[in-house]
Structure 1
């Protein structure tokens, strides 16, 4: 009986932890999108200038700034390149999160941006979202945790000689 209660508690724990996964991925995606939009807005003035003088080529604008003898323009070239790299980072991250749930989860498990992951985690508030993805994650997490605990408990019991039911089996079959 105690084993059944432990299994139920572990299932509930796995369910509550796993149901957080889609919400966390959604928060991370929204954070990426917000940064992506902000980076695009920060580059807009430079894009306008490059459109007017360099057919929209921001790299040509940077090269022009680098070619200037004025140290202010050279410093601006560094700043524009930094903005370009940051905007590209957000764009790549956003694209990686546009796939199906498995692709998003795999990206989050293997290659998220550490800075943005930490930022998302620091601002994440636990939530129970009753969407199909969250329900699926919750049920799968609960079942996996309960199954792992069951296997571990049965293995441990077998190692110490508990759970040997040969006598009970003989008694019932005779």
Structure 2
């Protein structure tokens, strides 16, 4: 059993290191995708911002209210469309600001409270690459060590009933 557990510890350590090295790359790709979506939403709002600047002192919310208050159904629906674009932009702006606060908030944003469609997009298009910068190496080693320790504790807990019966 001793040789098996030794190999299992090594396998868990290696698996943890390899998985841990991927996590910073995922967070980096999530941040870049979040930024790209924000830039795209900026472009989508540009024309409406110009219109809001021209007629409402730059207040896009007044522009939206004006569209939605119109008697014309086409303008009302246009106001709803502008509102949806504007709300998406605000969501992406908040998410990117949270992401850029510090390293911990970037990981939290990517895994705990992500923009769901962006996280799904990154997950489906994620390219498993080994980016060996100091942060990724440290993260990988910590993940490997934690996984090896958890595996060791799990093995000891499973082996405990057998050890007692062998000594009796």
What is the TM-score of this pair, normalised by structure 2? 0.91
Contact 2:53 2:59 in 1 (8 A): yes
Q: Distance in 2 between matches of 1:5 and 1:47?
A: 62
Q: 2:163 aligns with which of 155, 161, 164?
A: 161
The question of whether the paired residues in 1 share the 8 Å contact of 2:24 and 2:135 is answered with yes
Q: Which has more radius of gyration?
A: 1
Residues 21 and 139 in structure 2, CA contact (< 8 A), matched pair in contact too:
yes
1:155 and 1:44 mapped to 2: Cα distance? Answer: 61
How far off is 1:105 after superposition?
1.6
**Partner of residue 7, structure 1:** 9
Matched residues in 2 for 1:36 and 1:107: separation? 15
RMSD of aligned alpha carbons? 1.7
Residue in 2 that maps onto 1:172 = none
Shift of 1:144: 0.5
Aligned residue among 89, 93, 103 for 1:101: 103
| Partner in structure 1 of residue 115 of structure 2 | 113
1:73 aligns with 2:75: yes
Gaps of 5+ in 1: 167-174
Q: Distance in 2 between matches of 1:75 and 1:36?
A: 23
How far residue 73 of structure 1 moved from its aligned partner, in angstroms, is: 1.3
Structure-to-structure mapping, 1:82-161, within 5 angstroms: 82-161=84-163
CA distance in 2, matches of 1:75, 1:65: 8
Partner in structure 1 of residue 47 of structure 2: 45
State the shift of 1:106 in Å. 2.3
Instruction: Measure how far apart 1:102 and its partner are.
Output: 1.8
